[in-house]
Amino acid sequence: MIRDPKMYVTPDVWEREVTLLLRNPENTRELAEAKFGQAIAYLVTCGENPDVLMGPSKQVDEAWHSFLLDSIPYHHFTERNFGRYIHHVPELPGTTAEAQCVSDERATRDGHDSDTGRPLVLEQTITAIKAAGFDIDPDLWGMESAANCNQCHAGCHDSPK
């Protein structure tokens, strides 16, 4: 059974967040709904798997940023669903979450799989979201569009375990 991202926020919060995304003139209503839905799927997966390093695509990160900046609904969402706040951790230039947190013999110095060239965190994120029962919108999760952030530096000294 496929999980519905709309089940994790109230209809008024869904509408509010989609409307906020529509401030970007490049977003249609359909695209804004898709971005917010994928952001919710990502956040639920992060909340349920705090020890798994995950990071969003740039398009999903746009929706996460918008939700995060609308801090009261975001805080209520994280507290209600996970009993804790899910932090957004931007990566500093010249560093990658993979290099900091993942020991993977296939990782290259720039944090990509040496066989496929794909960002390891994004690939791991897509796999985790699918395993959590959510659909993935492939147009919003292109491997070339990894954002430079993650949810908590899972596996590192400051991970919420």
pLDDT score, position 94: 64
Tens-place pLDDT, residues 17-74: 999 999 999 999 999 999 999 999 999 999 999 888 888 999 999 999 999 999 999 9
pLDDT score at 46 = 94
Beta carbons within 10 angstroms of residue 9's beta carbon? 23
Q: Give pLDDT, residue 103.
A: 33
Mean pLDDT in residue range 77-87: 94
- Per-residue confidence at 159, pLDDT binned at 50, 70, 90? very low
pLDDT at 4 over 60: yes
What was the pLDDT predicted at 155?
A: 37
Taking a C-beta distance cutoff of 8 angstroms, is the pair 156, 54 a contact?
no
Q: Tell whether the model's pLDDT for residue 80 goes beyond 60.
A: yes
Task: Say what the pLDDT of residue 142 is.
Answer: 79
Q: Which amino acid, 161?
A: K
Question: What's the pLDDT score for residue 8?
Answer: 98
92-151 pLDDT, tens digit each: 776 655 433 333 444 454 555 566 655 578 888 999 999 999 999 999 997 554 444 545
How many residues are there in the chain? 161
The predicted pLDDT at position 95 comes to 61
